[in-house]
Amino acid sequence: MNLNSRRLPVARKIVSMCVAASAVWCASASQAADQPVVGLITKTDTNPFFVKMKQGAEAAASKDGAKLITAAGRFDGDNASQVTAIENMMTAGAKAILITPSDTKAIVPSIKKARAAGVMVVALDTPTDPQDATDALFATDNFKAGVLIGKYAKAALNGKPAKIATLDLAPGVSVGVLRHNGFLEGFGVKQGDPSIVCSQDTRGDQAKGQTAMENCLQKSPDINVVYTINEPAAAGAYRALKAAGKDKSVMIVSIDGGCEGVRNVKAGSIAATSQQYPLKMAALGVTAGVDYAKTGKKVSGYQDTGVTLITDKPMSGIDSKDTTFGLDNCWGNK
Amino acid sequence: MSTPSAPAGHPRHFSDRLPSLAEVGPLIALVLACGFFISQSSRFLSFQNLSLILQQTMVVAVIAIGQTLIVLTGGIDLSCGMVMAFGSIIMTKFAVTLGLPPALAILCGIGASTLFGVLNGVLITRIKLPAFIVTLGTLNIAFALTQIYSNAESVSNLPDAIMFFGNTFKLGPADVTYGTVLTLLMYLATWFVLRDTVPGRHLYALGNNAEAARLMGLSSQKILLTVYTLAGAIYGVAALLSVSRTGVGDPQAGQTENLDSITAVVLGGTSLFGGRGSISGTLLGALIVGVFRNGLTLIGVSSVYQVLITGMLVILAVAADKLSHRRG
Amino acid sequence: MSTTTSASAALPVLQARGLVKRYGNVTALDGCDFEVLPGEILAVIGDNGAGKSSLIKALSGATVPDEGEILLDGKPVKFRSPLDARAQGIETVYQELAVAPAMSIAENLFLARELVKPGWRGSIFKMIDKRRMLEEATAHMKDLQIGIRSMRQAVETLSGGQRQGVAVARSAAFARHVVILDEPTAALGVKEGNMVLELIRRVRDRGLPVILISHNMPHVFEVADRIHIQRLGRRAALVNTKDVHMSEAVAIMTGAKEADVKAIA
């Protein structure tokens, strides 16, 4: 396991300064070797999603002969740390910066400055607001991820009248909105449809997912489909359903494809999940960065890094892969 | 002073203390909220639903016990939720990964949280740093240690013994968890200590006028160190309740409980300046938040309004505390 | 100016000889003497910097003098802390009063000295005997004729004079030898100030000598039996109130006039 992911918050500034300083030293000392420097800034470095992303970036960097410097915020939403990281990386001579923005609007001025100085900036996983503030976006199509599980849920219901509960993220966060709307479209209902009997926020947290599910069940005991923003929320929802004796009769669908989530699909608590590929996002980003450093050619636009429906109970007409595939390709601890 | 005159400037003629606005306020607010939701949804007033609300609030409610004790002394604890999460990871990892017997693992988890309490207490009393700053620091340390030790992954497949407090028994038509009972017992014990014992009254005196307490010979060092350590142990018990409710050791738990516990304390009428308030108020404060969250879901209102209403209630509670605070 | 009182043969309750206290280069007490006799109200007056507060701090245990000795009922004592002094029967009422405003009068009276219930309820659970505290608080206040209706009232609902009364009653209830009052009437209006003076007399009449630090000359001359005039770190004079005019006392205090040699007992 990479030690860099274990730095204590207190020591991180010192370490990142040392990293920047040594990067400058390396850059000046090895001008002849001309190793391209690529920076990766994630929201946090504790979420397994970003851990996987960093691993993918490191593997790609060593393969492409690039030098990778990394940084992260202290928590989801920590914009200030990411601003500092961009500045440090520019000083360290990074030609390309890959970033999962914590605050999709507030980071834009820093990104503009970097691009004006000739640095290519690529957003990973989450688009900035506006999306064209970065040179390119490599991300999961979160809307499509929602559509897949929406279609699956509709098919799995097999004509029964639907009573849907949506366990969402938090107001205004784009990832949550996209996935939610995608699910609705895939399922074939519009926002406000009476078959959506309950919608509550969970912040993607297991305990809050449990509370939200309990309260939704109190409101509408006949819920039979539960859309969840991610797999921890799904785990909480499952627990509430189990306590109410409804775990066998209610279907949970989710998104993310983390290893623990795929294990839950295999165990049967989640019916299907849309798997996304952080490693691929990072690897593509590093390759694009090296390419730019060597040839000056920038990437642009949106590149879909793919999403796969993982389920052990496939529905006809809907492409999916089973949990064996899911476990082989999952992110997190296998 | 041979004529019993009414105090200058106060038109009151009552010699006994009337309950202040800050004391009855929470109860009134809770009753009003329940009344509103009963009228709006037929599903609110069922034993099952009310039992659910208790289960949903019990973790924050227990954390808020520790927070109340600390706030009464004029301090604050921003690290409580993270310390709880750390305790829950210790107890679950020790049971699952290290294979310790559940009882021992639980003790280790509570012990870990208590150690953080001691750390807070020592830094505040010996190094004399403000509680706000100290607990801000231990908040980050506890969070980091939790992420490192758990590898940011939740711990599942817990032995049954750890989940004991999530088990239910029948009370009439409702299922009540042992955790709820434990929570209520802890509140009763705290209520007794604060109201009727010497250490409890010394705590109030210290919070109300630290200089007076010092001049009269109370050791603020001893009292504060005891309070912060005890709070740490209480957060450890909250960790056990959290684990038994969710069935996992979750390293992402506790992030909102830091402020949620302070919200419960403030809604309950306890003054952030110290020396005034009651533990019963805190329970009411925690219940108010839980009732709103449950009730608004039952009537189909979006989550964001729960946050809005909680914010407004906090302002009201602090304003009521200020207004009812008599100055001679 | 004779200083001999009719009780001059009596042993001073609290006495100090040759107290010296230095803070760095500053000598606050420079061989200061002190005495207070049983059954008297002794006022301590002195200008700023005369060493008044250093003297009182030494007598109440808040500081330890560098040289000199303190005698309590004729026996030499050392006070290592204010708690030490209190344990030996000397109670001090500070200017800030040391009361918890949100707590009741009874609780404040017994602050840090709460009465516990008898038996295991008191010794193991440390349960407070509220009923007994209320009764005794009521008795103390009645004894000193302080007219507050209920001991359950929060101290913050009282007027300044009544709060002072609570603080004084507390010290009188627990003091065994002497009560020290630091500027008790400083923050009070005329009417309440007079009420406090009346209270001080009652404390003395109950048998406790009172040391009264005050810069309010009219109050001093109204209530004190003798006056200790502090100047330049020493006792400049110790006079009977009856035998001296206010202007003379002020003159000695400021150094405009030297006291007669006879004036020092």
Show which residues on chain A lie within 8 Å of chain B, measured between beta carbons.
1, 6, 8-10, 46-48, 51, 74, 168, 171, 198-201, 203, 205-208, 210-212, 214-216, 218-219, 232, 235-236, 239, 260, 332-333
**Domain-located, residue A78:** yes
Structure confidence at residue B227 (pLDDT): 97
Contact B328 C94 (CB under 8 A): no
Domain count, chain A: 2
Q: In this structure, what token pair is assigned to residue C220?
A: 């001093």
**Domain-located, residue A334:** no
**Are A27 and A49 spatial neighbours (Cβ–Cβ below 8 Å)?**
no
**Domain-located, residue B303:** yes
pLDDT greater than 80 at residue B239:
yes
pLDDT band at B10 (very low <50, low <70, confident <90, very high): very low
For residue C145, the chain B residues in CB contact (below 8 A) are: 1-2
**Domain-located, residue A164:** yes
Look at chain A and count its residues: 334
Residue A301 C-beta-side C-alpha neighbours within 13 Å: 2
For domain C14-89+175-263, which architecture applies?
3-Layer(aba) Sandwich (3.40)
**Are B179 and B244 spatial neighbours (Cβ–Cβ below 8 Å)?**
yes
Is residue A31 located within the same domain as residue A161?
no
Structure confidence at residue A12 (pLDDT): 64
Domain count, chain B: 1
Who has greater pLDDT, B25 or A210?
A: A210
Residues 6+ apart with CB under 8 A from A252: A226, A228, A234, A237, A238, A241, A269, A270, A271
**Domain-located, residue A60:** yes
For residues A314 and B276, what is the distance between their CA atoms, to the nearest angstrom?
Answer: 61
Mean pLDDT, residues C237-244 taken together: 93
Is residue A200 located within the same domain as residue A64?
no
Dihedral, CA of residue C134, residue C135, residue C136 and residue C141, to nearest 10: 80
Q: How many Å lie between the alpha carbon of C98 and the closest alpha carbon of chain B?
A: 4
Touching, A vs C (3+ Cβ pairs under 8 A): no
C100 touches chain B (CB under 8 A): yes
For residue A208, the chain B residues in CB contact (below 8 A) are: 256
Suggest the residue from B133, B293, B303 to mutate for an interface test with chain A (most A CBs closer than 10 A): B303
Structure confidence at residue A19 (pLDDT): 62
Contact B209 C99 (CB under 8 A): yes
- Residues B180-236 have pLDDT tens digits of 999 999 999 999 999 999 999 999 999 999 999 988 889 999 999 999 999 999 999
Percent of chain B with pLDDT over 90: 67
For residue B5, the chain C residues in CB contact (below 8 A) are: 147, 159
Mean pLDDT, residues C241-256 taken together: 90
**Domain-located, residue B199:** yes
pLDDT band at C209 (very low <50, low <70, confident <90, very high): very high
The CATH number for B216's domain is: 1.10.3470
B245 touches chain A (CB under 8 A): yes
Is residue A162 located within the same domain as residue A125?
no
**Domain-located, residue B304:** yes
Is residue A169 located within the same domain as residue A25?
no
Residue entry with tokens 């109410």: A244
Is residue A317 located within the same domain as residue A209?
yes
Structure confidence at residue B24 (pLDDT): 83
- Residues B277-314 have pLDDT tens digits of 999 999 999 999 999 989 998 988 888 888 898 899 88
Structure confidence at residue B47 (pLDDT): 87
Is residue A67 located within the same domain as residue A154?
no
**Domain-located, residue B13:** no
Is residue A179 located within the same domain as residue A258?
yes
Is residue A116 located within the same domain as residue A197?
no
Query: Which residues of chain A form beta strands (DSSP E)?
Result: 37-42, 67-72, 96-99, 120-124, 136-139, 164-168, 196-201, 225-228, 251-256, 272-276, 301-304, 307-310
pLDDT greater than 90 at residue B64:
yes
For residue A216, the chain B residues in CB contact (below 8 A) are: 297
pLDDT greater than 50 at residue B267:
yes
Nearest CB to B328; choose among C111, C147, C163: C163
**Domain-located, residue A150:** yes
**Domain-located, residue A333:** no
How much of chain B is in helix, strand and coil states, percent to nearest 5? 70, 5, 25
Q: Which domain holds residue B114?
A: 43-152+172-324
Structure confidence at residue C149 (pLDDT): 84
Q: Which domain holds residue A182?
A: 142-276+309-328
Is residue A316 located within the same domain as residue A263?
yes
B198 touches chain C (CB under 8 A): yes
pLDDT band at B22 (very low <50, low <70, confident <90, very high): low
pLDDT greater than 50 at residue C2:
no
DSSP, res B171: E
**Domain-located, residue A72:** yes
Structure confidence at residue A15 (pLDDT): 66
**Domain-located, residue B256:** yes
Q: In this structure, what token pair is assigned to residue C22?
A: 């230095």
pLDDT greater than 50 at residue B255:
yes
pLDDT band at B325 (very low <50, low <70, confident <90, very high): low
B126 touches chain C (CB under 8 A): no
Structure confidence at residue B48 (pLDDT): 87
Residues 6+ apart with CB under 8 A from B222: none
C131 touches chain B (CB under 8 A): no
Cα distances from B186 to residues A254, B64, B180, B181, B289, in angstroms, run 38, 11, 10, 9, 20
- Residues A47-89 have pLDDT tens digits of 888 888 998 999 999 999 999 999 998 877 788 899 999 999 9
**Domain-located, residue A146:** yes
At what angle are helices B279-298 and B303-324 packed, to 10 degrees? 150
Cβ neighbours of C164 (radius 10 Å): 28
Q: How many Å lie between the alpha carbon of A246 and the closest alpha carbon of chain B?
A: 15
Structure confidence at residue B7 (pLDDT): 41
pLDDT greater than 80 at residue C215:
yes
For residues B315 and C166, what is the distance between their CA atoms, to the nearest angstrom?
Answer: 35
Structure confidence at residue C260 (pLDDT): 62
Structure confidence at residue A331 (pLDDT): 87
For residues A274 and A276, what is the distance between their CA atoms, to the nearest angstrom?
Answer: 7
What SS3 string covers chain C? CCCCCCCCCCCCCEEEEEEEEEECCEEEEEEEEEEECCCCEEEEEECCCCCHHHHHHHHHCCCCCCEEEEEECCEEECCCCHHHHHHCCEEEECCCCCCCCCCEHHHHHCCCCCCECCCHHHHCCCEECHHHHHHHHHHHHHHCCCCCCCCCCEHHHCCHHHHHHHHHHHHHHHCCCEEEEECCCCCCCHHHHHHHHHHHHHHHHCCCCEEEECCCHHHHHHHCCEEEEEECCEEEEEEEHHHCCHHHHHHHHHCCCCCCHHHCC
Contact C147 B217 (CB under 8 A): no
The CATH number for A187's domain is: 3.40.50.2300
Residues of chain A with pLDDT below 50 are: 1-5, 28-32
Annotate B54-70 with b (16+ C-beta within 10 A) or e (fewer). Answer: bbbbbbbbbbbbbbbbb
Mean pLDDT, residues C217-231 taken together: 94
- Residues B93-144 have pLDDT tens digits of 999 999 999 999 999 999 999 999 999 999 999 998 999 999 999 999 999 9
- Residues C84-120 have pLDDT tens digits of 999 999 999 988 889 999 999 999 999 999 999 999 9
> CA nearest B2 in C: which residue?
C147
- Residues C48-66 have pLDDT tens digits of 888 888 999 899 988 899 9
